[in-house]
Amino acid sequence: MINDNSFNIELLYMFVQVSKSKSINQSSSILMMTQPDISKKIKQLECYYGKQLFIRKSTGMEQTTAGRKLYLEAQRLIQQFEQIQTIMTENTIHIKDLSIGCLDSISSNVYSSFFIDSLSNFKHVTITNRIIDLIKPFNNGKLDAILLDSEFKNKFTEKFSEILLFEEPYYLVYSKNNTLMNKLSNRINPTDLSSLNLLMYPKYCPIHQRIIQIYHEIKITPPKIIEIDYSESTITMVSHSDYVTILPKSLAISKVCQNNNLFLKKLDNNFTRSVSLFARNKETLHLVHNLLS
């Protein structure tokens, strides 16, 4: 074994993820690391053990014999490590002492069971559709953990820990009588979207902000957006007119299932939502994450 003091548990987390996905590219988004950083850490782990762990093939990253052995042991070690984390936090942080915040679109359609079961157990719960109502109290210490779109973490002013919870595409929701949709394909692109009558929450809404952010990222002028401050009014107008709206998959499916007059189409791959759990420290992060799982 090569003596390398830089070994840490994060290397094993990275190694297990690459082993599962067999892809540095896919692991990059999940681990929130660049592909060169992952390749560098794989090399670091290989140097530590003095063994090649992966063989790059056309089908993906295939484990060597040494890699398969390490994978089995790494899973056991990670499980033991997380158990230790739980034990060490049991007597230091309690759910009744924590204040948590969440966007309404996440709490109602993805983690409804969690919030139903835990609503009265936390010290305080904030559920809102305004980003600022989560970010501001998180920055000033009034919220210990929040569930929020990952892209808005650049608004945090204090140190934080993060776990990516899930990713989902955005969908276009429209009336089955919307004649404008007949000319479009099943996968809506940014140019298509600019030709439609788009109805959305005001700019405080994370969905609204994320759509504008995506257009800036791909360097295309955003479409004109008509703002309505109430979700039920938005859905009612969309279902009886040529207006359309954009919702994340979980919320879009919920609305369409409740209204037989609505259809949906997936937006292209530019329009993706990532949601993370953020906490002010790792102990709180792991405690809440375990409750969510």
Stretch 269-292: mean pLDDT, rounded? 90
Assign 5 to helix, strand or coil. coil
Q: 74-97, pLDDT tens digit by residue? A: 888 888 887 777 666 555 778 899
Cα 168 to chain center, whole Å? 8
Average pLDDT in the chain: 87
Stretch 114-128: mean pLDDT, rounded? 91
The three-point CA angle 32-37-42 to 5° equals 110
Write down the pLDDT at residue 90.
58
Instruction: Go through the domains of the chain in sequence order and give each one's CATH number.
Output: 9-90 (1.10.10.10), 95-165+274-292 (3.40.190.10), 167-272 (3.40.190.10)
Phi and psi at residue 42, to the nearest 5°: -60, -45
Report the distance separating Cα 87 and Cα 77, nearest Å: 15
Which residues contact residue 292 at a Cβ distance below 8 angstroms, ignoring those fewer than 6 apart?
111, 114, 165, 277
Query: Angle, nearest 10°, between helix axes 65-90 and 282-292?
Result: 100
Give the closest residue to 44 by CA, choosing from 69, 10, 79, 80: 10
Give the closest residue to 236 by CA, choosing from 228, 225, 224: 228
Is the confidence at residue 125, as pLDDT, over 90?
yes
In contact, 12 and 22? CB cutoff 8 Å: no
Give this prediction's pTM.
0.61
Stretch 7-32: mean pLDDT, rounded? 88
Stretch 114-136: mean pLDDT, rounded? 91
Query: Could you tell me which residue, 173 or 7, shows the higher pLDDT?
Result: 173
